[in-house]
A and B are shown apart, each in its own frame.
Chain A
Amino acid sequence: AQSVTQPDIHITVSEGASLELRCNYSYGATPYLFWYVQSPGQGLQLLLKYFSGDTLVQGIKGFEAEFKRSQSSFNLRKPSVHWSDAAEYFCAVVPGGGGNKLTFGTGTQLKVEL
């Protein structure tokens, strides 16, 4: 079955440390890939997206993600985390070829220790 997996439910990092949030998908063709961030009680904000081309994608707020076809992964990274990055992060996919329906992972809750 087609799915999106975020293996880590909760992650805690110290401010200034590096961050990597994992996302794996199982689709036949390369899907379109997205990372969104959600602050408590708020809507979702797009961090970055990947459709094709360069597999390293730069986003807002200093985030980047790397698409690895061989691993069916699209992990989100940030070199140095700020306390304001504490939030919930969602990986989402649209099946290859585009379309209307986004499928979301279950999210990773990030806590930043000062």
Chain B
Amino acid sequence: DGGITQSPKYLFRKEGQNVTLSCEQNLNHDAMYWYRQDPGQGLRLIYYSQIVNDFQKGDIAEGYSVSREKKESFPLTVTSAQKNPTAFYLCASRLAGAYNEQFFGPGTRLTVL
């Protein structure tokens, strides 16, 4: 079945450690996105990528980094510079074209202790 996978589902890290969240899609979508979700704030865009080896900052990119070496994969690194990293992280992908919607993965809940 085609879809988006995010791993792990739950992630615990100590303060000051970098952590990488995985996002893989087999939908042959061109664009991929990372969002952060906090209670009462909706989803906020961290980074997005429209093609391999290219990505752009979203609204809250500080303290995060990404790479897009393969079309299917868009890992997100939460660095120690991120002041409040505990959140629910959602990955999405979309086929190129003006009328195509984003499809979402199941999410990763990151807790920094």
Partner of A100, one of B31, B41, B43: B31
- Size band of the interface chain A makes with B: 20 to 34
Residues of A within 8 A of B113 (CB): none
Q: Are B99 and A98 in contact (CB under 8 A)?
A: yes
Residue among B4, B45, B102 with the highest chain A CB neighbour number at 10 A: B102
Chain B at the A interface: SS class: strand
Q: Are A44 and B42 in contact (CB under 8 A)?
A: no
* Interface pick from B13-21, B64-72, B79-87, B103-111: B103-111
Q: Are B48 and A100 in contact (CB under 8 A)?
A: yes
Q: Are A101 and B58 in contact (CB under 8 A)?
A: yes
For the complex formed, measure the closest distance between the CB of A70 and the CB atoms of chain B, giving whole angstroms.
24
Given contacts A100-B31, A107-B42, A34 and B101 within 8 Å (CB-CB): yes
Q: Are B102 and A41 in contact (CB under 8 A)?
A: no
Residues of B within 8 A of A100 (CB): 31, 33, 48, 50, 94
Is residue A56 contacting chain B, with contact meaning CB distance below 8 A? no
Binding site for B on A (CB under 8 A): 9, 32, 34, 36, 41-46, 49, 51, 90, 92, 97-102, 104-107
Sample of 14 A–B contacts (CB below 8 Å): A32-B99, A36-B104, A41-B109, A42-B107, A43-B90, A44-B104, A90-B43, A92-B43, A97-B98, A100-B31, A100-B48, A101-B45, A104-B42, A104-B43
